[in-house]
A and B are shown apart, each in its own frame.
Chain A
Amino acid sequence: MIPVAFDYLRPASVDEAVAALADGGEDAKVLAGGQSLIPVLRLRLSAPSLLVDLGGVAQLRGVREEGDALSIGAMTTHDEVASSPLVRRHAPLLAAMAATIGDRQVRHRGTLGGSLSHADPAADMPAAAAALEARYVLAGPSGRRVVSAADFAVDLFTTALADDEVLVEIQVPKMDGWGSHYEKFHRMVQAWAIVGVAAMVRRTDGVIESARVTLTNMGPTALRATAVEQALAGCAADRAAIEEACSVAAEGTSPIDDLTASAEYRRHLARVLAGRAVAAAAGV
């Protein structure tokens, strides 16, 4: 289909982008990789009057090392994240998750910042950001601010970004020494996750010292499975103990009931997949 007509700007800097959004008002929309926005426009489910395309802002792209963290530009594509030696070394969870998104074309167009800003509950990257306790750098008319992953994700398709703000970069603490795994369950290889579970585990000998477990598509935003994390702390790194700890993975979740899967089935999957993700992250 053909979208409703719109104006189009392709700024060369973050400041220009922010100014364009401020001028455009409520009906302006940021275009990143376009993997969610363009289909919505084509189906005429949305009709913004202005698109501000960030594709021309070179400073928004790429992975840099900054002390104890990686700084990933918001317009870095999923493919670049998946294949970045820095990400693979210091945040392998993020690289592994990026490699599961869509198909090759989608990964070459879709961006980390676009996915996080769109905040689709079925998207993988918010669960990675939550598990990594990433920090988000936002630029607006009055300057820049830094927001935690927990504060950035507000609700279904809703983030802390104001209409005139642009997500600039994501800062990911280096997680050397942690094992990690993303267990994604979907009907079709290229489809959204029905449920996904990201796990990061630090273990000493046979004991899990600390764990982070986050859930994709089990609520309006990516969720921290805090009950599981608590149960895993100090837990023996064996399959039975892990499965026991993960039996509470669906606690506090509110998954949707839709054509793809029922809420009941999603809760069941969360428990099974959490066990598998944690076991894999713990090297069990």
Chain B
Amino acid sequence: MTATDEREVGAARRRKEDARLITGRTRWTDNLTVPGLLHMAILRSPFASARIVSVDTSAALSRPNVVAAFSGADVADVQGSLPCAWPVTEDIVHPDRPPLAVDVIRHHGEAVAVVVARDRASAMDALEAIEVDYEPLTPVLDLEEALAEGSTLVHPDKGTNLSYTWVFDSAAAGTGADVGAVDAEVVLERRYVQQRLIPAFMEPRSVIVDPGAGDYTIWSSTQIPHILRVFYALLTGTPEHKIRVIAPDVGGGFGGKLHVTPEELITFMAARRIGRPVKYTETRSETMLAGHHGRDMIQDVRLTARRDGTVTGISVKLIANMGAYLGLVGPGTPILGAFMYNGIYKFAAYRFECTGVFTNTTLTDPYRGAGRPEATYLIERVMDELAVELGLDPIEVRRRNWIKKEEFPFTTVAGLVYDSGDYDAATDKALALLGYDELRKEQELRRASGDPVQLGIGTSTYTEMCGLAPSRILGALRYAAGGWETASVRVLPTGKVEVVTGVSPHGQGHETAWSQIVADELGVAFDDVEVLHGDTRTSHKGLDTYGSRSLAVGGIALVEACRKVRDKARTVAAHMLECSPDDLEFTGGAFRVRGTPDAAKTVADAAFAVFAAHDLPDGIEPTLDADATFDPETFSFPHGTHLCAVEVDTQTGHVAIRKYVAVDDVGKVINPTIVEGQVHGGVAQGIAQALHEEAVYDESGTLVTGSFVEYTPPAAADLPDIVTDRTETPATTHPLGVKGVGEAGTIASTPAVVNAIVDALRPYGVRDVPMPCTPERVWRAIRAVGTETEGGRS
């Protein structure tokens, strides 16, 4: 037998999926083929705003190997409108979003027409034969101009560019005071801009639709196969049981594949029209242009405090760019941040207002962290500003405001109940790892000597709400679906275990972590567990992977399913050992008779007994399979302290990260290697927002950062070594104690880096550098203050 005393949970297991993922010897959607497969290419608009006068696909049809070509007008009556599952207010302005543009173009890269051919090259060649007559219009690009009276409208029929205004007020909600009625000895007003980002996942999106004989099989590089299946049924009129969606191995997503895409619907329409399987794989240029973007909001904050450093209230006004249409959860993305602008602090009053605005740009939707990085950025930047205003150390001003360990569970001014945390412990550990005091001394020396290379230290003490999400809360926030998750565990006759999970990995390492959990729960070997996912035929329900939810929600369902199996196995084992189930204890991977540990049966023993079914206790079904579905009662709240030391070359504006320390508390850790990998990747993406990445449209609405030459995610050589460590304060709201880690690094790191840059430049009078803090922007920030007097200080 393979039973073992060693705990798998907590072991730094190498990921079992990595060999196939790293070598590419696996099933990516674009690697797959089916008999008779055709290939589709999409013609996209070169304009941001235009009227389509005519589209002529006839010449494309006569090109070699072309099977079909059609435009939006050809499918106008059947294509329907892409869904928005999160209409955040009752009166939200929610325009139709046709998969293929019919008569109006609303953003650069919008799909206009398609060619389906026997091979991909022929399809792409034939695109050039499609004739489109556009009448270009003036685009609306600037958020504040879009809201101004008399602005050109993205959707003239709606009469406004304003989609919604969503408000939270602690006085109205009864969770705190009125922001206008609290002490305001110090008032800080700041504006920050969250630039637009592009989720640069490694594998471009790809989809195959095989129409079969009316029962559709769809492979898609998606994060959400289950949600996609529901929407395929709702949008195409195909009965849900005639649709099978498969997300094979998926090469990253970061929220960028949390979408029901135009391309998925267009490919479906093509396959249905032609009656043959059709594949569409986007080019990287198309990913950049037409895959959804993230962030893009203007943040105005007003913070009030007493002179002793106690923050009394915070008021936040967002203008969030929706892009040209509402994405699947686009309106809700800034709302995910609404409960986080108070961070880890005990503020008396809080007000939040978000206005969603249409512009002639690619729509925005979740990108790693989704709303929470923006919130953390704002509060952590402005806490540093307060420290400067009061002449306090930035750590000290945070300490005076954050929730103390003994105050948990703590109901925040935003109305959430944080179950646990220890901000002092994480911060103290981070300070020691960074060598904070020594670096402060060095900073003083450099300032005193006028060193052209200045040193800065940035702090970010963050928390986030993870484990999306309690279904009741989602319902209250007008989200269309729930937030539960499911797992099935089946023990095979030889004691091997198959696990079916409703979450859908795209790089996270679920197969490894799930195997570790099952190994401990059932006393089987790590290698004896197979984790099945992403195919709606084997995994018929689930709500997929995003929002750091897989382990924090799906992991609990898994534990509960395992425990059901174990309870059944206990009954069978007791029967085999001729004792009462109550006489058995589960230790060392087996059920043992108390006081007679050699009398033991494993889950595998029980599995074979059940398989034979010759001698089972009365009333016991001959199966060791079980399902569980878990709906969390609340969110989970990982937290941590990230510290960043930068060296800023004041002559060139170049920023070099000298040291980066990440101390995260993600609750109970299943696999420290996976946690560390998540933190590394997350920090890399957060640093990228701080220093490198920005999607830019020119004045005509053309995306000018359309390739990795202009849009510049960092490579390994652009990133610092990252010192990681942890504190472990288990979640108290569920049996596993985990809190989620997928977004933590991204949420924490961006303000740590920008705070460090601004800290380095304080002697020059700099109090902000817009992101990304490119060398030229840093240089200009120094020069701007050098030549002007600092104004606008409130």
Contact = CB atoms under 8 A, between A and B. Distances in A.
Contacts of A190: 715, 717
B54 interface: no
B121 interface: yes
Interface in B113-148: 120-121, 124-125
Given A188-B692, A259-B704, A269 B652 contact: yes
A194 B712 CA distance: 14
A199 B488 CA distance: 67
Given A259-B710, A268-B779, A2 B124 contact: yes
Interface in A129-182: none
B2 interface: no
A259 B696 contact: yes
Contacts of A268: 779
Contacts of A273: 652
B775 interface: yes
B151 interface: no
A265 B718 CA distance: 22
A39 to B, nearest CB: 8
B97 interface: no
Given A2-B120, A259-B710, A185 B652 contact: yes
A189 interface: yes
Nearest to A262: B776
A190 B776 CA distance: 18
A194 to B, nearest CB: 8
Contacts of B692: 187-188
The range of chain A's interface size is: 20 to 34
A268 B704 CA distance: 25
Interface in A238-284: 259-262, 265, 268-269, 272-273
A262 B774 CA distance: 12
Nearest to A194: B775
B714 interface: yes
A93 to B, nearest CB: 21
Contacts of B654: 185
Nearest to B711: A259
Given A187-B692, A259-B710, A265 B715 contact: no
B124 A187 contact: no
Contacts of B62: none
Given A4-B125, A187-B692, A189-B715, A43 B779 contact: no
Interface in A94-143: 103
B121 A259 contact: no
B587 to A, nearest CB: 52
Given A259-B704, A272-B652, A187 B710 contact: no
A191 B696 CA distance: 18
Nearest to B124: A2
A269 B394 CA distance: 33
A58 B197 CA distance: 46
A261 B774 CA distance: 9
A103 B696 contact: no
B236 interface: no
B704 A191 contact: no
A1 B704 CA distance: 18
A190 B713 CA distance: 11
Contacts of A191: 709, 712
B651 A188 contact: no
Interface in A66-117: 103
B125 A5 contact: yes
Nearest to B284: A1
A189 B717 contact: yes
A181 to B, nearest CB: 16
Interface string A185-207: 10111111010000000000000
Contact of A1 (B124, B705, B774): B124
B696 A189 contact: no
B283 A272 contact: no
B1 to A, nearest CB: 49
Mostly, the B contact residues are: loop
A273 B779 CA distance: 14
A276 to B, nearest CB: 9
Interface in B704-733: 704-705, 707, 709-710, 712, 714-715, 717-718
Given A2-B120, A2-B121, A187 B774 contact: yes
Contacts of A1: 124, 283, 285
Given A1-B283, A259-B704, A187 B712 contact: yes
Nearest to A261: B776
A115 to B, nearest CB: 16
Contact of B715 (A2, A4, A103, A272): A103
A261 B717 CA distance: 21
Interface string B254-285: 00000000000000000000000000000101
A59 to B, nearest CB: 33
Contacts of B651: 272
Contacts of B121: 2, 5
Nearest to A190: B715
B718 A188 contact: yes
Contact of A265 (B696, B707, B776): B776
A185 B775 CA distance: 10
A265 B654 CA distance: 12
Interface string B100-124: 0000000000000000000011001
A105 to B, nearest CB: 11
A43 B120 CA distance: 15
B720 to A, nearest CB: 12
Interface in A3-29: 4-5
Nearest to B783: A268
A6 to B, nearest CB: 12
B663 to A, nearest CB: 27
A265 B779 contact: yes
Nearest to B712: A188
Interface string B455-467: 0000000000000
A260 B772 CA distance: 12
B737 to A, nearest CB: 40
Contacts of A261: 776
A187 B710 CA distance: 11
Contacts of A2: 120-121, 124
Contacts of B780: 265
B454 to A, nearest CB: 15
Contacts of A269: 652
A43 B285 contact: yes
A196 B349 CA distance: 52
A259 B780 CA distance: 15
Nearest to A189: B717
Interface in B461-481: none
A259 B696 CA distance: 9
Contacts of B124: 1-2
Looking at A261, A265, A268, the one whose CB has the most chain B CB atoms below 10 A away is A265
A261 B712 CA distance: 14
Contacts of B283: 1
Nearest to B651: A272
A269 B651 CA distance: 8
Given A1-B285, A265-B776, A269-B652, A188 B715 contact: yes
A188 B125 contact: no
Interface string B280-296: 00010100000000000
26 contacts: A1-B124, A1-B285, A2-B121, A2-B124, A5-B125, A103-B715, A187-B712, A187-B775, A188-B692, A188-B712, A188-B715, A188-B718, A189-B715, A189-B717, A190-B715, A191-B709, A191-B712, A194-B775, A259-B696, A261-B776, A262-B776, A265-B776, A265-B779, A265-B780, A269-B652, A272-B651
Given A103-B717, A259-B696, A265-B776, 19 more contacts: A1-B283, A2-B124, A4-B125, A5-B121, A5-B125, A43-B707, A185-B652, A185-B654, A187-B774, A188-B692, A188-B715, A188-B718, A189-B717, A190-B717, A194-B775, A259-B704, A265-B780, A268-B779, A272-B651
Interface of A: 1-2, 4-5, 43, 103, 185, 187-192, 194, 259-262, 265, 268-269, 272-273
